[in-house]
Structure 1
Amino acid sequence: MAKRKSSKKQSQGVIYLIVLACLALICREPIARALQDKLPVIKERITQKATPAITGSPLLPAPLKNVPEQILHRKGYTTSYNREHKIPNWVAWELTPEKLIERESRTDKFLPDPDLPESQAVTTDDYKRSGMDRGHMCPAGDNRWHWKAMQESFYMTNICPQNHNLNRGDWKELEDACRLWTKKEGKLYIVCGPILYRQKHRTIGRKHKVTVPEAFFKVILSTRNGHPKAIGFIFKNLSGNHPLKNYVNSVDEVERITGIDFFPALPDDVEKKVEAMQDLNLWSFR
């Protein structure tokens, strides 16, 4: 009886070996093919060189040094407000095609900023008989996508004393150009504000003494399709009628004049490259 059991176990073992051999033959080719498909992917991931990524919004400038600033976040923009001069240091916003959809009418109701004490908040009375326009930094035309954005664009912390001809002329032409560029680029990061040269400044307003800027700047950044580009503009606060190219500067030059570090969230090599650009042809309307 022992011999029969042993013989039976041996025959079962032979059957198991035959089954395993058949399975190995059947599965060998799919397994090999799967491994072959995986290997190039693994190799590519190891050898592929990473490129610097732009993470988050590169919109806001770096904190200012030795300059009074109060950061105020609004629906359509962010401003760095200077209580000493009663005007913004800068105003920054993102402009997208969605924000160009006109859902709201222009209000034309200029308001003292509710986040400032009443004794410090500039009003329209400070502009009366000054000969200066209440010039928007973030334009009302960029804020017609939401009623609150439109309302807040008329806060006086978004306003500077601006030459009438400049406000209604060349400055407005750049605002219009930015909207056209937005439709092409998909999104723009824009920062603008006043320039105060090292001199005695004119002021307006009996109550608040609002400083009149000697000039204005605007810097614009596009990061479309991983090919970032930037450009800067400087306008003297004077009457004039000139083509846009007359105002072009690099962002580096605007930084040198204003002391503001724009787009610090960009990778260093990208920031260095785009801030040296000043080619208006890169921003053609075609």
Structure 2
Amino acid sequence: MVKSGRTSGVTYGVVRRVDVLTKIDYGEGYGEQNIGGFEIGPDPSRDETMELSEGGDSGAVWMFRSGNGRTSRVMAGLHFAGDAGGGAESAIACLPASVFEKLDISLSPTTYETVRAEAAAAPGHGYDAGFLGDDVALPTLSADLAKDIAPVKDGGEVVHHTHFSLTMSASRRLARWVAWNIDGESLKKLSRSSIKFQLDPQIEAEHQMGDEVYKANDLDRGHLARRADLTWGPRAEAQQANEDSFYFTNISPQINSFNQSSRGGLWGRLEDAVYDEVEVDRLRLSVFGGPVFHDDDREYRGVRIPREFWKVLAYTTDGQLTAKAFLLTQNLDQLETLDLQEFKTYQVTLDELSERTGVQFAPALAEQPVPEGLTEPRVVETSGDVAW
């Protein structure tokens, strides 16, 4: 084998032992850690007195050599540590696969694209009803609203994307509801740069509100299922969810000061508040949200802009399923000038939310007791601007 270290330069070695476990004490806060790998000794066909490892060599790649002595294209391991001087010279290298697994990375573009393609094509890969352990099924619609569901091209009524699902209103060209899962333990911070908003291939274009309503004004393309909520799991899967979130089926027109998280992120912080107030089991939530449609919603460029949005957070604490429902109202005085006059956030009961929206929630949520003291809508005290 051969490596080129930052300090030691080009050195040659042979594998002495496999499945070596090295114990290292990293001090306060980390303690003793076990590092797996294999042991390397000097290549007897070379200078056996050469240093295999010096400070700064960590991370150098050990490559296998072929029978003719040439360096192959096969990676043997990543240099980890070596002797500090004295005794027989030796070094320890970590197996690439174990390092890549820990970092959740791959050097193979084909593998990465394959994982994403599998995530996009997997049947039922959207919202997971059993995510919390209890069966929290997708919402349904009242009989009248069910007549307005925009058909999915495969013949169904529900659109499934990575980590979220939704049902569209044909008349309003927006989602009636979106349902998604959040795995807080495996969230990834991914960039949104270069990702474009686009029409959803699962729904006919005539049933979607595209870019025509957003040009040359202060309306934002507001995510209903928050982009940052969806980017969890293996990196390739998280990236697929990142891109899926930009389909127009997951978007609703919102005043920019209402939508942009850089202005405070109040609406998005409703979920964060759950983490602050209670110990959410395994940092997992199931969330439902969408716009509230009214016949007198202000018309703008031929479409009616929702002035209310709702969100339901479902989670477990100590094995007990809990649900909280919220309603946010923005009063638009003159939509033509896009003035956000006032907004308020209310905590409401699921029954009231169903009455307002026509969205009916899973029995597992409907059976939960009404929060103590919540006999009527309660204003949630907040500060700053809001973000959906």
Q: Using the TM superposition, give the Cα deviation of residue 158 of structure 1 relative to its aligned residue in structure 2, in angstroms.
A: 0.6
Q: 1:105 maps to which residue?
A: 191
Are the aligned partners of 1:71 and 1:79 in contact in 2 as well (CA < 8 Å)?
yes
More strand by share: 2
How has the CA–CA distance of structure 1 residues 172 and 93 changed in structure 2, closer, same or farther, with 3 Å as cutoff?
same
More helix by share: 1
Separation in 1, partners of 2:216, 2:160: 31
Are the aligned partners of 2:308 and 2:327 in contact in 1 as well (CA < 8 Å)?
yes
Q: 1:65 maps to which residue?
A: 143
How has the CA–CA distance of structure 1 residues 177 and 265 changed in structure 2, closer, same or farther, with 3 Å as cutoff?
closer
Are the aligned partners of 1:87 and 1:210 in contact in 2 as well (CA < 8 Å)?
no
Are the aligned partners of 2:169 and 2:207 in contact in 1 as well (CA < 8 Å)?
no
How has the CA–CA distance of structure 1 residues 118 and 256 changed in structure 2, closer, same or farther, with 3 Å as cutoff?
closer
Q: 1:39 maps to which residue?
A: none
Q: 2:306 maps to which residue?
A: 213
Q: Secondary structure at the match of 2:259?
A: helix
> What residue identity is the alignment partner of 2:304?
T
Q: 1:250 maps to which residue?
A: 349
Q: 2:123 maps to which residue?
A: none
How has the CA–CA distance of structure 1 residues 120 and 255 changed in structure 2, closer, same or farther, with 3 Å as cutoff?
closer
Q: 1:178 maps to which residue?
A: 271
Are the aligned partners of 2:159 and 2:166 in contact in 1 as well (CA < 8 Å)?
yes
Q: 1:188 maps to which residue?
A: 285
Q: Secondary structure at the match of 1:173?
A: coil
Tell me the matched-pair count. Answer: 218
Q: How does 1:23-172 map to 2 (within 5 A)?
A: 56-67=134-145, 68-69=148-149, 70-102=157-189, 104-107=190-193, 108-145=195-232, 146-168=238-260, 172=265
Q: Using the TM superposition, give the Cα deviation of residue 154 of structure 1 relative to its aligned residue in structure 2, in angstroms.
A: 0.8
Q: Secondary structure at the match of 2:168?
A: strand
Q: Secondary structure at the match of 2:362?
A: coil
Separation in 2, partners of 1:255, 1:120: 24
Q: Secondary structure at the match of 1:273?
A: coil
> What residue identity is the alignment partner of 1:201?
D
How has the CA–CA distance of structure 1 residues 255 and 117 changed in structure 2, closer, same or farther, with 3 Å as cutoff?
closer
> What residue identity is the alignment partner of 2:324?
I
> What residue identity is the alignment partner of 1:105?
S
Q: 2:298 maps to which residue?
A: 202
How has the CA–CA distance of structure 1 residues 277 and 111 changed in structure 2, closer, same or farther, with 3 Å as cutoff?
farther
Q: 2:83 maps to which residue?
A: none
Q: Secondary structure at the match of 1:106?
A: coil
Q: CA RMSD of the aligned region, Å?
A: 3.1
How has the CA–CA distance of structure 1 residues 99 and 193 changed in structure 2, closer, same or farther, with 3 Å as cutoff?
farther
Q: Secondary structure at the match of 2:178?
A: strand
Are the aligned partners of 1:80 and 1:90 in contact in 2 as well (CA < 8 Å)?
yes
Are the aligned partners of 2:330 and 2:341 in contact in 1 as well (CA < 8 Å)?
no
How has the CA–CA distance of structure 1 residues 194 and 251 changed in structure 2, closer, same or farther, with 3 Å as cutoff?
same
Separation in 2, partners of 1:161, 1:62: 23
Larger Rg: 1
How has the CA–CA distance of structure 1 residues 120 and 61 changed in structure 2, closer, same or farther, with 3 Å as cutoff?
closer
Are the aligned partners of 2:164 and 2:178 in contact in 1 as well (CA < 8 Å)?
yes
Separation in 1, partners of 2:320, 2:379: 16
Are the aligned partners of 1:81 and 1:89 in contact in 2 as well (CA < 8 Å)?
yes
> What residue identity is the alignment partner of 1:175?
G
What is the TM-score when the length of structure 2 is the normalising length? 0.50
Deviations 1:231-281 (A, max 9, x none): 221111343677x8x522222221221122123245x6xx14157874899
Separation in 2, partners of 1:84, 1:99: 37
Q: Secondary structure at the match of 1:223?
A: strand
> What residue identity is the alignment partner of 1:224?
T
Where does the alignment leave 5 or more consecutive residues of structure 2 unmatched? Answer: 1-131, 150-156, 233-237, 332-339, 381-388
Deviations 1:20-79 (A, max 9, x none): xxxxxxxxxxxxxxxxxxxxxxxxxxxxxxxxxx96431411344222223101102111
Q: Looking at both structures, which has the greater relative contact order when contacts are Cα pairs under 8 Å and sequence separation is at least 6?
A: 1
Where does the alignment leave 5 or more consecutive residues of structure 1 unmatched? Answer: 1-53, 282-286
Q: 1:34 maps to which residue?
A: none
> What residue identity is the alignment partner of 1:247?
Y
Separation in 1, partners of 2:352, 2:208: 32
> What residue identity is the alignment partner of 2:307?
E
